[in-house]
């Protein structure tokens, strides 16, 4: 897509299809930069010290354990503190991409309302992806684990935490361009493309 660069942010809890959706959008839009916040976290871990910054080495749905017992306050605090570690890298990459005139897609649960509201760049599109039915989301965890040599047990174990984090994010859903139920990848892609094309065609 010609014209000024733009950025797409795909957020949502694990298993909602963020990565697949981001890759499909990149293909359809001719964007060569797709950044996962999990990848950013992995790079930060490679140069970090677990003893000095243990929360970096946790995941979003178990970071509460660094703040005390498992309750709503600590679950949310852990998630936010964990996510904020990723923010500076995303802002740097976004700034660099725009300076180079390149569009970019970010995907990951760490893309929070606070992060979106703190950005001061033109042509930003943010989408929060949901899968409402618990059984479908759990089936996706099973499918994801089928491709892993070491299954990730945290998704099932912390399912209540994952749903709580999702509900808290949705309290500020107006900060996202749109909230989408991701039942079918092509339908979700088309809905996002419609939003982007409508906005950019007016500029």
**55 in any annotated domain:** no
Q: Identify the residue whose tokens are 């500029």.
A: 203
Parent domain of 136: 7-38+90-200
CATH code: domain of residue 156:
3.40.50.300
Residue 203 has pLDDT above 70, yes or no: no
**178 in any annotated domain:** yes
Residue 1 has pLDDT above 60, yes or no: no
**72 in any annotated domain:** no
**125 in any annotated domain:** yes
**160 in any annotated domain:** yes
Q: What is the mean pLDDT of residues 22-32?
A: 96
Query: For the chain, what is the mean pLDDT?
Result: 94
**75 in any annotated domain:** no
Number of structural domains the chain divides into: 1
Contact 111, 138 (CB under 8 A): no
Distance of CA 127 to the CA centre of its chain: 9
d(CA 137, CA 130): 9
**74 in any annotated domain:** no
Per-residue model confidence (pLDDT) at position 20 = 95
Per-residue model confidence (pLDDT) at position 9 = 98
DSSP letter at 2? -
DSSP bridge partners of 181: 130
**154 in any annotated domain:** yes
pTM (2 d.p.): 0.94
């Amino acid at each position: 897509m010609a014209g000024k660069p733009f950025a797409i942010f795909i957020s949502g809890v694990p298993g909602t299809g963020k990565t697949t959706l981001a890759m499909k959008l990149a293909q359809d839009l001719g964007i060569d930069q797709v950044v996962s916040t999990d990848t950013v976290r992995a790079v930060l871990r490679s140069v970090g010290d677990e003893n000095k910054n243990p929360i970096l080495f946790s995941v979003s749905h178990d970071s509460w354990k660094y703040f005390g017992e498992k309750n709503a306050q600590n679950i949310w605090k852990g998630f936010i503190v964990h996510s904020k570690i990723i923010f500076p890298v995303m802002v740097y990459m976004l700034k660099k991409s725009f300076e180079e005139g390149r569009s970019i897609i970010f995907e990951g649960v760490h893309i929070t309302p606070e992060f979106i509201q703190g950005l001061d760049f033109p042509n930003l599109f943010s989408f929060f992806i949901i899968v409402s039915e618990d059984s479908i989301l759990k089936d996706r965890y099973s499918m994801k684990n089928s491709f892993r040599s070491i299954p990730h047990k945290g998704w099932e174990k912390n399912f209540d935490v994952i749903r709580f984090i999702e509900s808290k994010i949705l309290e500020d859903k107006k900060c996202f361009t749109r909230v989408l139920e991701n039942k079918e990848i092509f339908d979700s892609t088309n809905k996002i493309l419609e939003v982007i094309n409508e906005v950019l065609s007016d500029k």
